[in-house]
Amino acid sequence: MAMIDKMKDDELVDLFFSQHKFEIEDNGFSERVIQSLPKSSWKTNRIWTIVCTLAAVALFVTEGGFKWMQMLYYSMMGNTAGWIASVHFAAPSLQSILVIYLAVLSLVCVGCYNIYLSAAKK
């Protein structure tokens, strides 16, 4: 019920602002402000971004980032293999069936809710 009231409120707000919309003439003011901004700040920002990126790459390489990424990958694969090995495919228990059912049901509910919200926004 609260969701329906919120949607009605949102529609009323959208309707109000669409009826009371007006444009302010700036006669090129915004463009003049952008042109008056100093160009050196853009150049400094670009240089700072490049320096930080190079520093991050250098630290990644010198501190053995590739080794850590490889260890993380193997750990994830080992955990996945362990999980698969622990599932009993021959005779699944009621608990494992219930967990799988609830997981699929949750995903379906979230998907339906997202579809409902995207349709309500249109």
- DSSP code string of 40-103: HHHHHHHHHHHHHHHHHHHHHHHTTHHHHHHHHHHHHHHHHHHHHHHS-SSS--HHHHHHHHHH
Mean predicted lDDT score pLDDT of the chain = 83
Give the Cα separation of 36 and 39 in Å (integer): 9
- Can you give the pLDDT at residue 122? 65
Q: What is the pLDDT of residues 63-115, one digit of tens each?
A: 988 898 999 999 999 888 887 777 666 666 777 788 889 999 999 999 999 99
Its pTM stands at 0.36
Give the Cα separation of 72 and 78 in Å (integer): 10
The answer to whether 116 and 4 are in contact (CB under 8 A) is no
